[in-house]
C-alpha cells in the first residue's frame, strides 16, 4: 500500500495550524469550573496544600499542576483535531464522587476527600469536553493524583524492609547485629529505623518521576508499565543500601561520619543518584521505533476520521451549560455536609472515672505511666494498678465529638506523649476484653528507662475495634443517623520485666479483673 505522503503531510500541517476558538473557550470554561470546585471544597484544597508545605515527603505536590498544564499544552494540537461533545453522563459520576467526599468528610478521612476532589476535576473534563478529549488526556488527568498526599500507610512496611536489608548487609559484612524490630544494636551503638529512614519520600518522588518519564519516553503500555514498576523497585533497594552504608560507615569510623548532618546530606545525594540511575536505565531500555509507514497510516486514519465526521460542533452555550450543571451538582455536597453537622448529637460528659478492678489488683495513688498526647479529648483517665509487685498503667482518652485534627484516629496522636520512647515493633494480637475475644494493637516501646509492652484499641458507637478503618466507618454511621459521637481510645501498658510472655499474661490478667470496661465507658456520657 502506498500513501501520498506529501498530500497527507500538507493536510496534517493545515489541521495542526487550526486552533479552533472553541477549544480556547473550552479551556477557559474548564479552568473556571476547576477554580469554583476548589473553592466549594476549600477545606480539602487547603489540607492538600498544607501537607505539601509541612511535610518534606509531599513537597513534590507543588509540581503536579504545572506539569499537568505542560502535558496538556503539549497535546493541544492533537486535542484540537478531536470531536468536542459534552457528556452529561459525567454528572452521575460527579454525584457519586460528591457522595464519596461526603463519607470522607463524615469520617474525617482526608485522603478520601482529597481523592474525591481530584476525581471531580477529572470528571468535569469528561462532562464538559466529552469522551474523545478525556481519553486523550488520560495520563495528564491521572497525574493529578500525585497531588494527593498519600503513602503514609506504606511507612511501617518500608521500615521493615529497610531494617531487614540493613541487618542482612551488616551480617554479610561480618558486623554482629542484634535485631529487635526497628532497633538495630551493633558493637558501636544502637540504631533506630525511624519513619524518615523508611525512604517514603524517595519512593513517592521516584514513582512520580518514573510515571512522567515513562509517558514521555515510551509509547506502548508494556514499556511504560515496565518502567513504572522499575521506579518502584529501585528506590526500595537503593534506600536499603543507603541505610546499610550509613550504619556501616558510622561503625567503621567510630561514629564520626554518617551521623547528624552527614546523615541528611547522604539522603539528598542518595535521591540524586536514584534519579540518575532511573534515567540511565530508561535511556538504555529503548522502545523499538515505529516505521514511518505505520505512523502515516495511523495519522491518516485519525485525520480521515476527523474529515469525514459530520457531527456538528456544540455551541459555546451548551459547553457552558454542562459546566454549570457540573458545578451545581457538586455544590449540593457541602450543603448536605453542613445540614448533617447541624443534626448530629454531641455527647455530654457525666463522669470520667477509672474503672474498679477485682482483687488482687489495686489502684495506686499515683499514676506511674506516660501521658498520652491526643488533641481534642473531652476527658482523660490516667490510672496505675498493682498486683503481686507488678504495675499496669491504664489510659482512657475520651471524645464527646470528633473534628479534623481532634479524633481518635489521627497521625498526630501519640500514645507515649514523649520523644523519649521509641516504637521498636508493632503487630496485632488477640486478647480477652469483657469476656470476649478482641484483636488489639500490640507494640513494644523502648527508652533509656527500659521497655514497655502496650495494647491499645478503640471504642466507638458502643463497639470495641482495633481497626482504624472500621472505627472511621462507625464514626460515619453515627453522623449519618444522628447518633451519639462518644468515642474513646483505651491503652494499657506494662514494663517488659520478666520477658514478653510474662508481660502478656500480666496485661491479660488485669483485663480479666475489670468487671465491665464497656459499662465504664458508657457511664462517661449520655
Closest CA to 26 of 261, 308, 323: 323
Residues contacting residue 492 through CB under 8 Å, at least 6 positions apart: 392, 393, 394, 395, 454, 455, 456, 507, 510, 511
Tens digits of pLDDT across the chain (526 residues): 444 545 545 544 444 444 467 788 888 999 999 999 999 999 999 999 999 998 888 988 999 999 999 999 888 888 888 888 889 899 999 999 999 999 998 888 889 999 999 999 999 999 999 999 999 999 999 999 999 998 888 888 898 899 999 999 999 988 888 887 788 888 888 888 888 788 888 889 889 989 999 898 888 888 889 899 988 888 888 888 888 888 888 888 876 665 554 555 566 677 777 778 777 877 777 776 554 434 433 444 444 444 444 445 667 788 889 999 999 999 999 998 888 777 665 666 667 788 888 889 999 988 888 888 888 888 889 999 999 888 999 999 998 877 777 788 887 888 888 888 888 888 899 999 988 999 999 999 988 888 899 999 999 988 999 988 888 888 888 888 777 788 899 999 999 888 899 999 999 999 999 988 888 888 887 6
Query: What integer pLDDT is reported at residue 349 of this predicted model?
Result: 65
Residues 25 and 314 sit within 8 Å (Cβ to Cβ): no
pTM of the model: 0.77
Residues 493 and 421 sit within 8 Å (Cβ to Cβ): no
Q: DSSP code of 311?
A: P
Residues 20 and 111 sit within 8 Å (Cβ to Cβ): no
Query: What integer pLDDT is reported at residue 148 of this predicted model?
Result: 94
Query: Domain ranges in the chain?
Result: 5-150+312-340, 153-284, 362-522
pLDDT digits (tens, 9 = 90+) for 198-216: 888 888 988 998 999 989 8
Query: What integer pLDDT is reported at residue 309 of this predicted model?
Result: 43
Query: What integer pLDDT is reported at residue 505 of this predicted model?
Result: 93
Q: How many of the other CB atoms lie within 10 Å of CB of 118?
A: 20
pLDDT digits (tens, 9 = 90+) for 380-394: 899 999 998 889 999
Residues 88 and 94 sit within 8 Å (Cβ to Cβ): no
Amino acid at each position: 500500500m502506498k500513501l501520498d505522503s506529501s498530500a497527507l503531510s500538507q493536510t496534517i500541517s493545515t489541521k495542526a495550524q487550526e486552533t479552533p476558538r472553541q477549544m480556547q473557550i473550552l479551556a477557559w470554561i474548564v479552568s473556571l469550573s476547576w477554580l469554583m470546585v476548589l473553592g466549594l471544597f476549600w477545606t480539602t484544597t487547603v489540607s492538600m496544600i498544607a501537607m505539601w508545605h509541612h511535610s518534606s515527603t509531599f513537597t513534590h505536590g507543588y509540581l503536579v499542576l504545572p506539569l499537568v498544564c505542560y502535558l496538556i499544552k503539549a497535546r493541544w494540537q492533537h486535542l484540537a483535531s478531536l470531536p468536542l461533545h459534552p457528556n452529561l453522563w459525567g454528572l452521575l459520576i460527579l454525584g457519586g464522587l460528591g457522595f464519596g467526599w461526603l463519607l470522607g468528610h463524615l469520617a474525617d478521612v482526608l485522603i478520601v476527600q482529597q481523592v474525591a476532589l481530584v476525581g471531580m476535576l477529572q470528571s468535569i473534563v469528561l462532562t464538559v469536553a466529552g469522551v474523545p478529549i478525556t481519553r486523550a488526556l488520560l495520563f495528564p488527568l491521572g497525574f493529578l493524583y500525585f497531588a494527593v498526599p498519600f503513602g503514609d500507610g506504606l511507612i511501617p512496611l518500608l521500615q521493615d524492609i529497610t531494617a531487614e536489608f540493613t541487618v542482612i548487609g551488616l551480617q554479610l559484612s561480618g558486623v554482629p547485629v542484634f535485631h529487635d524490630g526497628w532497633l538495630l544494636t551493633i558493637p558501636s551503638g544502637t540504631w533506630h529505623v525511624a519513619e524518615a529512614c523508611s525512604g517514603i519520600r524517595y519512593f513517592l518522588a521516584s514513582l512520580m518521576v518514573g510515571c512522567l518519564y515513562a509517558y514521555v519516553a515510551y509509547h506502548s503500555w508494556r514499556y511504560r508499565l515496565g518502567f513504572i514498576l522499575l521506579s518502584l523497585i529501585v528506590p526500595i533497594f537503593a534506600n536499603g543500601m543507603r541505610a546499610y552504608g550509613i550504619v556501616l560507615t558510622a561503625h567503621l569510623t567510630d561514629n564520626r561520619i554518617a551521623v547528624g548532618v552527614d546523615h541528611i546530606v547522604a539522603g539528598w545525594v542518595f535521591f540524586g543518584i536514584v534519579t540518575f540511575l532511573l534515567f540511565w536505565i530508561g535511556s538504555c531500555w529503548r522502545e523499538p521505533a515505529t516505521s514511518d509507514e505505520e505512523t502515516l497510516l495511523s495519522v491518516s486514519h485519525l485525520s480521515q476520521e476527523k474529515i469525514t465526521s459530520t457531527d456538528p460542533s456544540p455551541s459555546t452555550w451548551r459547553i457552558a451549560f454542562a459546566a454549570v450543571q457540573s458545578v451545581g451538582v457538586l455544590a449540593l455536597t457541602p450543603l448536605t455536609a453542613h445540614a448533617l453537622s447541624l443534626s448530629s448529637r454531641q455527647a455530654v460528659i457525666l463522669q470520667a472515672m477509672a474503672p474498679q478492678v477485682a482483687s488482687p489488683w489495686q489502684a495506686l495513688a499515683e499514676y506511674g505511666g506516660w501521658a498520652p498526647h491526643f488533641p481534642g479529648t473531652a476527658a482523660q483517665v490516667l490510672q496505675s494498678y498493682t498486683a503481686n509487685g507488678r504495675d499496669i498503667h491504664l489510659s482512657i482518652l475520651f471524645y464527646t465529638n470528633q473534628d479534623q485534627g481532634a479524633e481518635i484516629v489521627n497521625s498526630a496522636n501519640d500514645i507515649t506523649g514523649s520523644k523519649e520512647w521509641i516504637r521498636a515493633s508493632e503487630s496485632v494480637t488477640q486478647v480477652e476484653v469483657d469476656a470476649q475475644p478482641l484483636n488489639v494493637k500490640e507494640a513494644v516501646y523502648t527508652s533509656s528507662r527500659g521497655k514497655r509492652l502496650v495494647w491499645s484499641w478503640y471504642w466507638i458507637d458502643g463497639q470495641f475495634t482495633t481497626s482504624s478503618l472500621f472505627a472511621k466507618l462507625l464514626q460515619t454511621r453515627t453522623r449519618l443517623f444522628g447518633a451519639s459521637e462518644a468515642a474513646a481510645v483505651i491503652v494499657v501498658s506494662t514494663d517488659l520485666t520478666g520477658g514478653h510472655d510474662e508481660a502478656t499474661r500480666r496485661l491479660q490478667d488485669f483485663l480479666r479483673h475489670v468487671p465491665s470496661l464497656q459499662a465504664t465507658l458508657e457511664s462517661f456520657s449520655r
